[in-house]
């Protein structure tokens, strides 16, 4: 890594359509300072319009995935308007992950605490090392993790989420997998291989179908049952008109691998 790269709060790598966004504040356990939030928002905006991107991996440098907001930076500006702006900007980053047309995978090691746990919960998929730990620990410093609660409570049950929020206790990766915060916990040495296997599975599928599917999946969750089925039926009909759907069905009937068009 060059000296210039070492100073950048976020590093980006694109390999064959898989973009890795690497949080790069290792000495601060990748705390989400304003500069890092700005860089994340910028890259998410760029990815959202890049049809060549198929998948995004979010990872962290050093000993931790992400330790939440930068408390030192926050305390240096004790102003309500500043705090409201900061939390709003962070929330936009979390929503930006969900709004991307491609899957986002959190590669988690070390700790993911407070807004770092929120970041994991906001990703579409998450794979963690067995040694990773998760908490929404703001309560320990007199701050209820209200914005992390939004993402957390959409991943795990209300009682489990509230318990974490009012106690600040850590859960291990196996528990996080059991509760649904992450998809799987793997041996520390297997973390990169597990993420690579998941990206390969995604790359093997139709890009068009995945883009239709991610948008539909989250939108229908906010609807009543009848509206959700009506919306999903319309999306599926649109998807059927794509060349990839024709190719995929023909390939299945002809017992061969599909050659995706999109």
- Please report the pLDDT score of residue 7 as a whole number: 82
> What average pLDDT does the segment 94-122 reach?
98
Q: What pLDDT score does 2 carry?
A: 57
pLDDT tens digits, one per residue of 26-40: 999 999 999 999 999
User: Is the pLDDT score of 244 beyond 60?
Assistant: yes
> What number is the average pLDDT over the span 200-209?
96
Residue 18's SS3 state is strand
CATH classification code of 3-203: 3.90.226.10
**Alpha helix (H) ranges present in 100-206?**
115-122, 146-152, 158-167, 173-179, 191-203
Helices 80-99, 115-122: crossing angle, 10 deg rounding: 20
- What digits encode the pLDDT tens for the residues 65-103? 999 999 999 999 999 999 999 999 999 999 999 999 999
Is 262's pLDDT higher than 80? Answer: no
The residue extents of the domains of the chain are: 3-203, 207-253
The predicted-structure confidence for 134-160, as pLDDT tens digits, reads as follows 999 999 999 999 999 999 999 999 999
Residue 168: φ, ψ to 5°: 70, 10
CATH of domain 207-253: 1.10.12.10
Average pLDDT, the chain: 95
- Reported as a pLDDT band with limits 50, 70 and 90, residue 5 is low
Which pLDDT score is estimated for 4?
57
SS3 sequence, 129-151? ECCCEEECHHHHHCCCCHHHHHH
Three-state DSSP state, 64: coil
Across the range 157-184, mean pLDDT stands at 98
| pTM across the whole model | 0.94
Contact 60, 23 (CB under 8 A): yes
- Split at pLDDT 50, 70, 90, the class of 1 is low
């Amino acid at each position: 890594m060059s000296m210039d790269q070492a100073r950048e709060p976020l590093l980006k790598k694109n390999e064959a359509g898989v973009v890795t966004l690497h949080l790069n504040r290792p000495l601060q356990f990748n705390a989400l300072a304003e500069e890092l939030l700005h860089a994340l928002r910028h890259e998410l905006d760029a990815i959202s319009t890049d049809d060549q991107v198929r998948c995004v991996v979010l990872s962290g440098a050093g000993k931790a995935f992400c330790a939440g907001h930068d408390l030192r930076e926050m305390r240096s500006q004790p102003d309500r308007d500043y705090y409201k702006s900061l939390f709003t900007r962070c929330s936009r980053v979390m929503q930006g992950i969900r709004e991307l047309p491609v899957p986002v995978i959190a590669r988690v090691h070390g700790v993911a605490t407070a807004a770092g746990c929120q970041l994991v919960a906001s990703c579409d998929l998450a794979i963690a090392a067995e040694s990773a730990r998760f908490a929404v620990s703001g309560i320990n410093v007199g701050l209820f993790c209200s914005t992390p609660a939004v993402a957390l409570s959409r991943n795990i049950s209300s009682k489990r989420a509230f318990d974490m929020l009012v106690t600040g206790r850590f859960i291990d990766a196996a528990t996080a997998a059991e509760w649904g915060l992450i998809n799987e916990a793997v041996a520390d040495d297997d973390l990169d291989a597990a993420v690579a296997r998941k990206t390969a599975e995604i790359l093997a599928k139709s890009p068009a179908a995945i883009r239709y599917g991610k948008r539909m999946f989250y939108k229908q969750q906010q609807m009543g049952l009848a509206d959700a089925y009506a919306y999903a039926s319309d999306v599926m009909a649109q998807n059927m008109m794509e060349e990839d759907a024709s190719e995929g069905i023909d390939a299945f009937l002809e017992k061969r691998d599909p050659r995706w068009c999109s």
